[in-house]
Structure 1
Amino acid sequence: MSLQQSVEQFMYRLAELCDDRDWDGYIEQFAPECEFHIPQWKNEDEITSDPKREMSLMYYADRTGIEDRVFRLRTGKSAASTPLPRTLHLIDNVRCMEQGDGTVQVRVNWVTHFYRFGESGHFFGTADYTLRGEGDDWKVLRKHSVVFNDHIDSVLDFYHV
Structure 2
Amino acid sequence: MSNAELHYQIKQFLYANAHKCDQKDWKGYIEDFSEDMIFHVPQWKSEHEYTTNPKREMSLIYYANRGGLEDRIFRVETEKSSSAYPLPRTLHQLSNIQIVKSAQDEIEVTAGWDTSYVRMENANRFFGHVNYKIRKEGDQFKICAKQVILLNDKINAVLDFYHL
TM-score (norm 1): 0.97
One-letter code aligned to 1:10: F
Equivalent residue number for residue 74 of structure 1: 77
Q: Distance in 1 between matches of 2:35 and 2:138?
A: 17
Change in CA separation of 1:96 and 1:58 when aligned onto 2, cut-off 3 Å: same
Specify the SS of the correspondent of 1:11.
helix
Q: Distance in 2 between matches of 1:112 and 1:19?
A: 10
Moved over 4 A (4+): none
Specify the SS of the correspondent of 2:44.
coil
Equivalent residue number for residue 65 of structure 1: 68
Specify the SS of the correspondent of 1:76.
coil
Q: Distance in 2 between matches of 1:136 and 1:5?
A: 15
Equivalent residue number for residue 135 of structure 1: 138
- Structure 2 gaps of 5+ residues are none
Equivalent residue number for residue 109 of structure 2: 106
Percent identical pairs in the alignment equals: 46
Equivalent residue number for residue 22 of structure 1: 25
- Structure 1 gaps of 5+ residues are none
One-letter code aligned to 1:115: V
One-letter code aligned to 2:93: L
TM-score (norm 2): 0.95
Equivalent residue number for residue 35 of structure 1: 38
Specify the SS of the correspondent of 1:16.
helix
Specify the SS of the correspondent of 1:53.
coil
Pair 1:126 & 2:141 matched: no
Counting matched residue pairs gives: 161
Equivalent residue number for residue 155 of structure 1: 158
1:101: Cα distance to partner?
4.0
Q: Distance in 1 between matches of 2:98 and 2:43?
A: 23
Pair 1:45 & 2:48 matched: yes
Equivalent residue number for residue 99 of structure 2: 96
Q: Distance in 1 between matches of 2:106 and 2:21?
A: 23
Query: What value does the CA root-mean-square deviation take over the aligned residues?
Result: 1.1
